[in-house]
Amino acid sequence: MILEASNQKDLETVKNFYLGRKGKIADIIKNIPALPENQRPLIGKEANVIKQQIAALISRKQVDLAKNLTPQDKIDVTLPPNRSRLGGLHPITQTINEIVKIFEHIGFCVVEGPEIETDYYNFQALNIPEGHPARDGLATFYLKDNDYLLRSQTSTVQIRIMQQVKPPLRALSPGRVFRPDNLDASHSFMFHQIEGLAVDRTTNFSHLKASLAYFVEKFFGPKTGMRFRPHYFPFTEPSAEMDISCIICSGQGCSVCGRKGWLEILGAGMVHPNVFKEVDIDPEVFQGYAFGLGIERIAMLKYGIDDIRLFANNDIRFLEQFD
């Protein structure tokens, strides 16, 4: 009977016939107490052995039948439906989109530049000539024959924009940058920056400050404090770094801000006259400001992420928190 079953349903019927609650085996076991005392252990034992043999036979037959299931057998209409899973935007993309949206409100538009660059755009035109000490701080991946390199900063795009568009202009440029840094919780050989550039006849430092204050308020919240510290960048003069009050401890001092209460988030300054001259814009007529910030860093601050490597590990458990 077992071997003759031609489908799962028939097999199920056979199984019930022998092993079911009211099946043959159950019947035998139920009647054991009525047997002469000396026969009971033997019959009980035999019944169990047979039960196991039948069960083994049935499960083997089940496997055989499963190998050539008919379409009707395969579809179990009682199963819950497969819910299709939609992908989400990567947290870095989301952060870029958010920053772009804020600056678009104050007249900036997005322009992208190439990741493979020349020395001219990455250094020379940005007032970083050969032998300039600033080149040391911007360690760079050089490509074959040193004719090309992987850009180490998005400031390259400042030059490309001003070669093509004459002021007044306001542009924003997000993208990847590369530096031969050792990988650890806060460093990576590839990360993202966003570059900002605004040029007009009367553009001045207070415009820079107001634009960045607007950004900080929208991105980190209205209670966030900000301050500028004098700094040096070859392509801006004067130059500054901007800090925000620590968003973890609100300026009290904690391990994230190194007990300082402040977090550096970007570099900025007024476009250097040499940079204007390089793109045929008269520095006597036009003035501009520029800024550059690291996306991973501010995404880490905003979302409380403590390891930059999480962005590139493709771990779904991390990524789906941003869906």
Binding residues vs ligand DAH (CB under 6 A)? 153, 155, 195, 233, 236, 267-269, 290-292
Query: Nearer to ligand DAH by C-beta: 212 or 257?
Result: 212
Three-class HEC string of 143-186: CHHHCCEECCCCCHHHHHHHHHCCCCEEEEEEEEEECCCCCCCC
Residue 82 CB, nearest approach to ligand DAH (Å)? 46
Residue 137 CB, nearest approach to ligand DAH (Å)? 8
Answer for the pair 169, 290: CB distance below 8 angstroms, yes or no.
no
Query: Nearer to ligand DAH by C-beta: 153 or 245?
Result: 153
Residue 166 CB, nearest approach to ligand DAH (Å)? 19
Query: Nearer to ligand DAH by C-beta: 233 or 276?
Result: 233
Residue 185 CB, nearest approach to ligand DAH (Å)? 19
CA distances (Å), origin 147, targets 115, 118, 144: 14, 6, 7
Bond from prior residue into 91 cis (ω within 30 degrees of 0): no
Query: Nearer to ligand DAH by C-beta: 5 or 268?
Result: 268
CA-CA distance, 189 to 182, in Å (whole number)? 7
Query: Nearer to ligand DAH by C-beta: 251 or 267?
Result: 267
Angle between helices 8-19 and 40-67 (to 10 degrees): 170
Residue 104 CB, nearest approach to ligand DAH (Å)? 18
CA dihedral 302, 303, 307, 313 (to 10 degrees): -120
Residue with tokens 């409380």: 304
